[in-house]
Structure 1
Amino acid sequence: MSELLQAVLDSEERSDLRSFLSELRQQEKKYLLRNDILNVYSEYCSKSQKPEAYYTTSELGKLIYYTQEIIQEDSNFCFIIRSKIASQEVYWLTSDLSIEPMTVQDLLDLRDRLVNKFHPNDGDLLELDFGPFYDYTPIIRDPKNIGKGVQFLNRYLSSKIFQDSKQLLENLLNFLRLHHYNGVQLLVNDRIQSQQQLSEQVKKAIGFVNNRPDDEPYEQFRFQLQSMGFEPGWGNTAARVRETLNILDELIDSADPQTLEAFISRVPMIFRIVLVSAHGWFGQEGVLGRPDTGGQVVYVLDQAKSLEKQLQEDVLLAGLEKLNVEPKVIILTRLIPNSDGTLCNQRLEKVHGTENAWILRVPLRDFNPNMTQNWISRFEFWPYLETFAIDSERELRAEFQGTPDLIVGNYTDGNLIAFLLARRLKVTQCNVAHALEKSKYLFSNLYWQELEEKYHFSLQFTADLIAMNAANFVVSSTYQEIVGTPDSVGQYESYKCFTMPELYHVTNGIELFSPKFNVVPPGVNENNYFPYTRTKDRVESDRQRLAETLFTLEDPTQIFGKLDDPNKRPLFSMARLDHIKNLTGLAECYGQSKELQEHCNLILVAGKLRVEESGDNEERDEIIKLYNIIDEYNLHGKIRWLGVRLSKTDSGEIYRVIADRQGIFVQPALFEAFGLTILESMVSGLPTFATQFGGPLEIIQDKVNGFLINPTNLDETATKIVDFITKCEQNPNYWNEISQRGIDRVYSTYTWKIHTSKLLSLARIYGFWNFTSKENREDLLRYLEALFYLIYKPRAQQLLEQHKYR
């Protein structure tokens, strides 16, 4: 039994538990989440006149704190207790306080009954369990090491080398033999036939390069190294070659995790990368702020630029320049014929500021032109993914004149396409999914049937299960994206155990302790986003134009509102106009606070101004809501709402223009998986207030380099902002202190150089792991294919039939 439950039952608080259960029976809700439970408990303590300390220090208080969910059935209760990150216990409590542990299957059946009392499953529902496929892979034990997969793998592989050095080093030799570029052998040739020979020849080569000047180019002693068994790829100078050979020599003699990572990270094995961002409106101008784009477009474009730059640097350092090695990065997306004046109807577009990074757009196969010729929402895109992947394979082979070395998926649709492509091309698959929809929409799996027409979650969640289990490695921006916090469930953790009533049960959807998970936060584009104090890098005409646009320009086609006093401190936010981003919540917070209105103007850069201009249902709802809030609180003269599309250059300068006036950036999302706008505002020098729900919790150190807010508590949020403004007025340097700390935080942790170096290192190490472990993934992949063809594809076909009549 749970220690928390046992402690209550063994204490004088047993009767308090009984009374609390009685309080629960009076609740209208039969399914309570953590916040609901805490509220009921708080009311109970108040009614019972418990001492203030009782709320947190009592045995019952501790139990309630760790109880994630409570489900009532008849007069009995199911307690889901999460006393540790990434693990839960489930118990059944009756009215007489008898307690029984519940299995995962029992819990899922109970949830089904709650939704559909009249159609019980009677045990005839498909049950998905991925647990057995992880039985033969190493597993992390300590929850705090989740998300540090590559560090764990390095320790594991190093210990294996130590235990069975002959076999593992033989594998290392065979791994080095694998690598070539356009038919040219790299690293070692057939003069080295055994692990023993490799060890001997490495020492011989080190002795040879020790006698050469550090800066001597590799080409001048290439043939001498070839005679010893070493081909290009060890370095571009004598010093670099010596350094790489010394790392290998150390690895052979005494393996340790750092040496292993240092060596594998230098192996030239990745030259061609595909980044999949499939559902559309992917371009470099005129697409940001469209439904389903924004943050993902910015992320992938910046990642592509940085990856190409890093690959070029790696090629140079490896001494492969003379072999005409040309790294190439392709962003794979869909071609949209009716592109609304953007370049989304062009097959191939070069990424600005790169030599060999491209946007490759592949059209959807002809179907209903009303669908396939136009943008399709990410919630409706599912029927087209398989044929898109098949057609993309042909296009990618043509562009690369071969196959890619790494495929990185983005978002659920991109990750499923990455799975289909990686399966066909037999290359390493990486998943990126910073915003899993399952966590964003409350009870989305439980009530999926009611939401299916609008969101098609049955397809989305099935695609997530397939892609995340198929991936060789998964990149997340934050630790909590994987397993949450002590008091909240992580995005990936939410896939561990769930039901989709009348479709399937998931008893073990993902192994959270798998070393495939790695936290690699994105960076900020330093060309566009930099501190407002770097005046030499700013364009004065842009600054003046954007200042006028933000505060004084009258243009009813794209700006709503005229400010009574444009010189007030700007309270600024920029995001898509959808429910999760919660800009309407910020407007309401501002509307309810007279003090905020007294000190600040509210400036919003958000989507469209008119309902008829939007093709997205959620955006239309938010437009109506925002106008209603402006009227309800009479915010005319105090608010500016810009429905403009910004280039990245203008986007960066807008933050700096706000900073010129010692403004404040607020990110009020109900949930934010990571938060690139937070990095952009901080590096620009804006003191930033951001949601405490999601990634910002790891970016911002509260009250040190920014501020965390609960966007559902409007009074508290307004108070925190007003308190900051008051401190700034009392101490004119306080704004500057927070501003500089935010800048320092970004530069120390969130640059694209750090991100791409880590990503490429991961790709190489997981490639080595897959080779040396001889891991047989075929059984897992077959299981995933069965899920794709038996569940996903038939449902996608049903949606396609609906699209015929759109």
Structure 2
Amino acid sequence: MNELLQSVLNSDEKAALQQLISTLMASGKHYFLRNEILQIFADYCHNFQKPAYFYYSSSIGKLIQYTHEIILAEENFWLVVRPKIASQEVWRLSADLSDCKLMSPQAFLDVSDRLVNRYQPNILEIDLAPFYKNSPSINDSRNIGQGLAFLNHYLCNQLLNDPQHWLEILFRALRQLQYDGINLLIGDRIRSGVQLAQQIKQALKFLSERPANEPYEKFHFYLQDIGLEPGWGNTAARVSETLALLDRLIDTPQPAILEAFVARVPAIFRVVLVSIHGWVGQQDVIGRDETLGQVIYVLEQARSLENKLSKEIQLAGLEAFGIQPHVIILTRLIPNCEGTSCGLRLEKVEKTENAWILRVPFAEFNPEITNNWISKFEIWPYLETFTNDAEKELLTLFHGRPNLIIGNYSDGNLVASLLSRRLKVTQCNIAHSLEKPKYLFSNLYWHNLEDEYHFSAQFTADLISMNAADFIITSTYQEIVGTPDGMGQYESYKLFTMPQLYHVVDGIDLFSPKFNLVPPGVDETIFFPYTQTQHRDFDLIKQIDNLLFHSQDPQILGDLDAPDKRPIFSVATVSSIQNLTGLVECFGKNQELQKRCNLIFITSKLHPSEANKPEEAREIQRLHDIINEYNLHNHIRWLGMRLSGREIGEAYRVIADRQGIYVHFARFEAFGRSILEAMISGLPTFATQFGGALEIIENRENGFIINPTDLEKTAQTILDFLDQCENNSEHWQEVSQWMSQRIINRYNWNAHTTQLLIISKMFSFWNFVAPENNEARDRYMETLFHLIYKPRAEKILEQHMRSKR
């Protein structure tokens, strides 16, 4: 980057940079983010009549493309540049451009604090880099998120380099496996890795003479006599295959063999899924708007996990020992549950044999608060006592410890890290949507946002849990490190300031193998292609078609003049992030879209009086204002009502019956379940460029990625697609089929759960191999918890103790 800067400063382009700085200063602002920087530079090129190549190909053009933040200080000009993914540099240029210097992260955080007049010398610095320094690390940023593959290669190399040492470690790791006192895989008669290798060969010779489908029960006495306990398989063929994998792994370690063997190791039977703050229930109880997607995700993951673990137990030959999977969704019990099941302590998960929702109440500090639902932004004071109570409940229900704890969202991840630390259990984190990158400048101006959002507690909880986690699964690569055009969610925790609270100079190692890309699926009994007419309910089709296009209801706004026009469809919560107001304004400003299409969208609320918080009320009112401003009542249908999953699934298909399209217009979307649901249903789907949609859709030549900040270009992108559909009668069907198949092949729960369990087993093994790597890190996390998080949470509790609902 220094070379590029010098090429600007030592050429005629220096004058252009000076003019650009003057333009920025004339705006009266001091802080600029990437989108604004690019727009200002584009305007500069236009106003100064620069040639076409200048914007992209000049040295200053390249510099601006790499620049993600600019700060104008009194005497200096600060650039945060990102020469490549997962890499940031801070450069300070003097006002006259005579001096250019690479700066430390600390210096940049200091100038950021000064920008908001909250500079504090000798502020606490949080630096996690030392805890990752001696750990295995991915070298190539393109492989970030492929932690399992990396560890497989790393461990196989270790086996090759020091086979005797690693054979003994592998032996000790396998020998510790048991279930309620039942030894699995290796018994006491085998006392070393060398002996294990010998007994495997003896067992393989014995099994080669048995019928392939002979049940394990018929020959288990022989295996146990030579030290091999249950868990290798349920038939002679299965046991032989598993032993052969281990034999090959010992002789010729290869990543594919290691992964195949680990997949068969019976190491996980009891799993906890932590999801705290939502209304975690089933059917009509599913979630509140702010957590609806998370609750659906957790329920579907629980079903998939139980199903997968049942199959693993069966194939391992452990059913005869009474072993069965046990999955618990841990959430909070809400006494004032509004007639839902959220006041029940224990509820069985539908379509499962042994998966349960366990609800533990919050300790009663102020019943006006704790007896009711609590927003995800207010929940922090209750998590430590909740963890204490939940630990006792879990140990009682499981009759022992779980094998895996999976946290969801910031609060669930913090509880998962506390439980994992106490129970010495492997911890997985899932966030999908971290608040810090969603709310611009939320860390810089946290003081101003504290009363409403309490970001100081949340961002600290995020730092603790993501570093304490044994592994993190994400739905997309960009969730970790973004794209060349923008930072990832986890990357945003690498370097930031909370003025007058602390500086984070290195908050997370993005190259750690703990990051693993494991996208979820959708419930294919609810969401499936519209062409699968044999699975559709004719009466439901008629009901949903009438609801979307014709019926009158107090919770429906709009009466279509021409119901047969092609529908543009969207399903979203009402929030500034989901940006339905932007979609309606885009539609309202474009007469051609109104001429050719109707806009139909579903939210859970229609009136500001129904909102749970001020931001939601403001967004609902804005929607009404935009509809009135552009006189859209005869061109739109706004359904402000909660539909069941089955009804939503049919709604996508009814729109597809009419060859409609789906638009996801969020300002930022980490992943976007509705994108999966719409695509698998067969709807050509247009989705925001800011977030995970880039990876879900894999933007094709005809383009389905949109910029929600550019209404005119978005409208034209949709119109271009409609033109192609009119010019080619097969075009809509071709896109529909491609999108359906994309989701069916790539985003399914079986693949998700298979990968999740393999990763869990691998990191459990890694923790066994190198436990000392985690102890210092976990002690550091405890310090952050007690000295920063708890005081912030206690301040929220003080407010709650004075509160009356």
For residue 22 of structure 1, report the CA deviation from its aligned partner: 3.0
After superposition, give the CA deviation of every residue in 1:349-386 in whole Å (9 maximum; x if it has no partner). 11111111111111111122221111111011111111
* Other-structure match for 1:19: 19
Q: Is the 2:481–2:510 Cα contact (8 Å) retained in structure 1?
A: yes
For residue 593 of structure 1, report the CA deviation from its aligned partner: 1.2
Q: Is the 1:271–1:405 Cα contact (8 Å) retained in structure 2?
A: yes
Q: What is the rounded CA distance, in whole Å, between the counterparts of 1:287 and 1:672 in structure 2?
A: 24
* Other-structure match for 1:354: 352
Q: Is the counterpart of residue 644 in structure 1 residue 641 in structure 2?
A: yes
Q: Is the counterpart of residue 303 in structure 1 residue 317 in structure 2?
A: no
For the residue of structure 1 that corresponds to 2:224, the secondary structure is helix
Alignment of 1:1-400 (within 5 A): 2-97=2-97, 98-116=99-117, 119-122=118-121, 124-288=122-286, 290-400=288-398
For the residue of structure 2 that corresponds to 1:292, the secondary structure is helix
Alignment of 1:515-664 (within 5 A): 515-556=513-554, 558-664=555-661
Q: What is the rounded CA distance, in whole Å, between the counterparts of 1:100 and 1:776 in structure 2?
A: 36
Q: Is the counterpart of residue 768 in structure 1 residue 792 in structure 2?
A: no
Q: What is the rounded CA distance, in whole Å, between the counterparts of 1:704 and 1:9 in structure 2?
A: 38
For residue 6 of structure 1, report the CA deviation from its aligned partner: 2.1
For the residue of structure 2 that corresponds to 1:159, the secondary structure is helix
After superposition, give the CA deviation of every residue in 1:279-298 in whole Å (9 maximum; x if it has no partner). 02111122447232211111
* Other-structure match for 2:433: 435
Q: Is the 2:702–2:721 Cα contact (8 Å) retained in structure 1?
A: no
Identity %, equivalent residues: 58
For residue 425 of structure 1, report the CA deviation from its aligned partner: 0.9
Q: What is the rounded CA distance, in whole Å, between the counterparts of 1:651 and 1:377 in structure 2?
A: 25
Q: For 2:120, give the aligned amino acid.
A: N
Q: Is the counterpart of residue 488 in structure 1 residue 489 in structure 2?
A: no
Q: What is the rounded CA distance, in whole Å, between the counterparts of 2:556 and 2:83 in structure 1?
A: 50
Q: Is the 1:706–1:738 Cα contact (8 Å) retained in structure 2?
A: no
Match of 1:450 among 438, 448, 451: 448
Q: What is the rounded CA distance, in whole Å, between the counterparts of 1:473 and 1:355 in structure 2?
A: 28
Q: Is the 1:42–1:55 Cα contact (8 Å) retained in structure 2?
A: yes
Q: Is the counterpart of residue 712 in structure 1 residue 713 in structure 2?
A: no
Q: Is the counterpart of residue 751 in structure 1 residue 748 in structure 2?
A: yes
After superposition, give the CA deviation of every residue in 1:708-747 in whole Å (9 maximum; x if it has no partner). 1111111111111122122212222111000000011011
Shift in CA distance, 194/92, structure 1 to aligned 2, threshold 3 Å: same
Greater CA drift, 775-784 or 453-462: 775-784
After superposition, give the CA deviation of every residue in 1:177-232 in whole Å (9 maximum; x if it has no partner). 11111211110111111111111111111111111111111111111111111111
Q: What is the rounded CA distance, in whole Å, between the counterparts of 2:270 and 2:372 in structure 1?
A: 30
For residue 403 of structure 1, report the CA deviation from its aligned partner: 1.1
Q: Is the 1:289–1:606 Cα contact (8 Å) retained in structure 2?
A: no
For the residue of structure 1 that corresponds to 2:342, the secondary structure is coil
For the residue of structure 2 that corresponds to 1:481, the secondary structure is helix
Q: Is the 1:287–1:294 Cα contact (8 Å) retained in structure 2?
A: no
Q: What is the rounded CA distance, in whole Å, between the counterparts of 1:113 and 1:601 in structure 2?
A: 50
Alignment of 1:401-440 (within 5 A): 401-440=399-438
Q: Is the 1:289–1:645 Cα contact (8 Å) retained in structure 2?
A: no
Match of 1:790 among 756, 778, 787: 787
Q: Is the 1:311–1:327 Cα contact (8 Å) retained in structure 2?
A: yes
For residue 576 of structure 1, report the CA deviation from its aligned partner: 0.9
Shift in CA distance, 526/601, structure 1 to aligned 2, threshold 3 Å: same
For residue 136 of structure 1, report the CA deviation from its aligned partner: 2.1
Q: Is the 2:287–2:295 Cα contact (8 Å) retained in structure 1?
A: no
For residue 48 of structure 1, report the CA deviation from its aligned partner: 2.3
For the residue of structure 1 that corresponds to 2:628, the secondary structure is helix
Q: What is the rounded CA distance, in whole Å, between the counterparts of 1:339 and 1:136 in structure 2?
A: 49
Q: Is the 2:558–2:634 Cα contact (8 Å) retained in structure 1?
A: yes
For residue 434 of structure 1, report the CA deviation from its aligned partner: 0.6
Q: For 1:573, give the aligned amino acid.
A: S
Q: What is the rounded CA distance, in whole Å, between the counterparts of 2:287 and 2:148 in structure 1?
A: 35
After superposition, give the CA deviation of every residue in 1:450-480 in whole Å (9 maximum; x if it has no partner). 0101100000100000000000000011111
For residue 705 of structure 1, report the CA deviation from its aligned partner: 9.1
For residue 554 of structure 1, report the CA deviation from its aligned partner: 1.2
Q: What is the rounded CA distance, in whole Å, between the counterparts of 1:382 and 1:790 in structure 2?
A: 15
For the residue of structure 2 that corresponds to 1:144, the secondary structure is helix
Q: What is the rounded CA distance, in whole Å, between the counterparts of 2:564 and 2:606 in structure 1?
A: 24
Q: Is the 1:380–1:455 Cα contact (8 Å) retained in structure 2?
A: yes
Alignment of 1:732-747 (within 5 A): 732-747=729-744
For the residue of structure 1 that corresponds to 2:289, the secondary structure is coil
Runs of 4+ aligned residues of structure 1 deviating over 3 Å after TM superposition are 703-706
For residue 14 of structure 1, report the CA deviation from its aligned partner: 2.9
Q: For 2:598, give the aligned amino acid.
A: N
After superposition, give the CA deviation of every residue in 1:786-806 in whole Å (9 maximum; x if it has no partner). 111111101111110100122
Q: Is the 2:280–2:287 Cα contact (8 Å) retained in structure 1?
A: no
* Other-structure match for 1:676: 673
Q: Is the 2:404–2:428 Cα contact (8 Å) retained in structure 1?
A: yes
In structure 2, list runs of 5 or more residues that go unmatched.
none
Q: What is the rounded CA distance, in whole Å, between the counterparts of 1:398 and 1:799 in structure 2?
A: 32
Q: What is the rounded CA distance, in whole Å, between the counterparts of 2:546 and 2:772 in structure 1?
A: 60
Q: What is the rounded CA distance, in whole Å, between the counterparts of 1:267 and 1:502 in structure 2?
A: 49
Q: What is the rounded CA distance, in whole Å, between the counterparts of 2:151 and 2:19 in structure 1?
A: 50
For residue 699 of structure 1, report the CA deviation from its aligned partner: 0.6
For residue 614 of structure 1, report the CA deviation from its aligned partner: 2.2
For residue 773 of structure 1, report the CA deviation from its aligned partner: 2.4
For the residue of structure 2 that corresponds to 1:17, the secondary structure is helix
Q: What is the rounded CA distance, in whole Å, between the counterparts of 2:287 and 2:625 in structure 1?
A: 22
Q: For 2:743, give the aligned amino acid.
A: V
Q: For 2:644, give the aligned amino acid.
A: S
Q: Is the 2:92–2:103 Cα contact (8 Å) retained in structure 1?
A: yes
* Other-structure match for 2:798: 801
Q: Is the 2:8–2:59 Cα contact (8 Å) retained in structure 1?
A: yes
Q: What is the rounded CA distance, in whole Å, between the counterparts of 1:357 and 1:179 in structure 2?
A: 23
Q: For 1:615, give the aligned amino acid.
A: N
Q: For 2:628, give the aligned amino acid.
A: D
Shift in CA distance, 554/120, structure 1 to aligned 2, threshold 3 Å: closer
* Other-structure match for 1:513: 511
Q: What is the rounded CA distance, in whole Å, between the counterparts of 2:393 and 2:190 in structure 1?
A: 38
For residue 627 of structure 1, report the CA deviation from its aligned partner: 0.7
Q: What is the rounded CA distance, in whole Å, between the counterparts of 1:91 and 1:253 in structure 2?
A: 52
Q: Is the 2:703–2:717 Cα contact (8 Å) retained in structure 1?
A: no
Q: What is the rounded CA distance, in whole Å, between the counterparts of 1:132 and 1:59 in structure 2?
A: 36
TM-score norm. by structure 2 comes to 0.98
Shift in CA distance, 367/705, structure 1 to aligned 2, threshold 3 Å: farther
After superposition, give the CA deviation of every residue in 1:290-321 in whole Å (9 maximum; x if it has no partner). 23221111111111111111101111111111
Q: For 1:567, give the aligned amino acid.
A: D
Q: Is the 1:250–1:259 Cα contact (8 Å) retained in structure 2?
A: yes
Q: Is the 2:279–2:287 Cα contact (8 Å) retained in structure 1?
A: no
